[in-house]
Structure 1
């Protein structure tokens, strides 16, 4: 919910030749919201529903992990009769990840129902409830990489308290651990040299920044590798940092 001062400030940018699209990109406010404010500045009263008030996540570590999964491969959609669906897409190749995701949802919202639905090339772990938009206020229209992604203060407190769980969710969604190789000439003989590397790949600048800020906080050294002209690959290749990741992240199974 945006306050009146924010609404006035955003509408004040619509001067001269400024379009709603350009103001939306600058402020992160959706175009539909800006157009609605042009007709009515004051917020409409919220409708009450039968659900209990949102009390936040029941388990903080599980929420940090689920937040990482959501930022990578999650979405929220409304139910026609109220409430929302949370869906996390999990690759078929990682059945253990599907169970990790399901367990995290049940730990965060013990009263909600969780189902597993087969889709083409993946499994959608889905939960219905009335508070998913409360728990994930980053939800909004459009794709995540096309809008601002900023954690609320209470989310930041959880990530600061459970950084490895948050990183684990990010890596399990949009990351991987691979074995790279190169060749070295030793004594005139070319030898193959292998080494492990972690990657986190996401096209959202904000989500990558959340990842790298958290990596730095836990003492992991990282670099950003460009694919073409877009630097959206976060790489961890230093031996000590990879060992630290191995100790805390664990495989997708």
Structure 2
């Protein structure tokens, strides 16, 4: 499917498939702390997938499923238990959740994990009189009250065929965040064009354009820059809720 007409047909089909999307969320944390683990930090991963039948010509099967073979339709494909169908994974996301009331040492926890996670250290400040880790003062003063957990989005990837269809990736990300954590204090992200290869990242013009597109995407979900590299979203503000409602309405899912 490469022509304009075929692309329009594929767009119509994919938008019609949204009602069959399933969200999957999982997480893990440690019971007790050690040099490498902190019981106040949870690793999580999430996917959005569509279940399809293995064969289209069996009696009672669903109508034409030729779209399954379209280029870039899935990030991965897995068999369902029993071999009765396939899960087409269209979005993958992962990150960490930090409990400000339980984390033992947020700075060590982030620094020990990876350089990517260490980027988020500027979000945090000292402990308060009750032993809770506070957010950086200049951040704390801008937020609405509520929540004791910080959700950090590490990676979000959407299958290419689903891009440019009116905000599907943004809507799926927002819906997944609801299940990752109930009413977090903030959600944070490092907007970076992760799909660029090494040569593209070294090309200033290509990199700057791609980074602008990524930042524009996160801004449309209510994220704002805290530093040049770190963007945050206050889930208790109206901006995020309105953005998600607008996308849902535009996609016919409200």
Between structure 1 and structure 2, the one with the greater Rg is 1
Normalising by the residue count of structure 1, what TM-score does the alignment of the two structures yield?
Answer: 0.28
Higher normalized helix content (fraction of residues): 1
Normalised to the residue count of structure 2, the TM-score between the two structures is: 0.28
